[in-house]
Amino acid sequence: MLLGRRQILGVAFAKFLSDAAWYFYLFWLPKYLFDALHFDLARAGSLGWIPYAASGVGCVVGGGLSSVLLRRGTTVNFARKLALGASAALMPWVMLVPHSQSVPVVLFLFSLAFFGQQSWSTLVMILPTDLVPRRALGKFAGIVGMGGAFGGVVFQQFAGWMLDHGSGYGPVLVVAASLHVIAFALICLAVPKLDLITFRGKTA
């Protein structure tokens, strides 16, 4: 049973954590630009698209890096985890956003986070292919996707509650900036080696 394996639960909970941050960035960035940098609609339209474009580039780069490493003869375990770790390392910088009033700096930091998140997300959704055979991919991908969706719901509520109670964006961004690093550590602990999961001597 898939849910009985620590590898499955580890990847699903890592997705829970990382998508919690992603949904916050995705939906709260426009409000942050209005509230903190006093953007109007025209300025938001002319500049606010930049981090979202960076996320699209990240989708390609994350998987591309992993593929390049594999072509150079590294193991799947090394290729995936190096690319995941590099993606996660880009995320904590966003906690510096509240300390800057420079529009280019803020957009750069958010772009870095959007790029890193989508690089990460592409790689996490590849992991099921490394861990289970084709017949189990749909179930595993569904579990991982569900974990991400629940993470988004929970963190949206947390962020709204924090902001409603006057915390400001700083503490929320610190939490969000930490989640990918925690998720990467969780994957390393739950999946020490990327290999097909076996059940009673058989593959999943």
The overall pTM is greater than 0.85: yes
**CA-based angle 125:126:128, to the nearest 5?**
85
pLDDT of amino acid 202: 53
Q: Is 5 helix (H, G, I), strand (E, B) or coil?
A: coil
Judge whether residue 68 has pLDDT over 80: yes
Judge whether residue 203 has pLDDT over 60: no
Tokens of 150: 């629940």
Phi-psi region of 38 (alpha: psi -120 to 50; beta: other; left: phi over 0): left
Return the higher-pLDDT residue of 201 and 15.
15
C-alpha 173/C-alpha 159 separation (Å) is 9
pLDDT of amino acid 201: 52
**Beta strands, E only, the chain:** 198-199, 202-203
Judge whether residue 47 has pLDDT over 70: yes
Average pLDDT, the chain: 92
Domains in the chain, please, with CATH? 2-190 (1.20.1250.20)
Long-range contacts of 24-31 (CB under 8 A, 24+ apart): 24/155, 24/156, 24/159, 24/172, 24/176, 25/51, 25/94, 25/110, 25/113, 25/114, 25/117, 25/176, 27/156, 28/159, 29/110
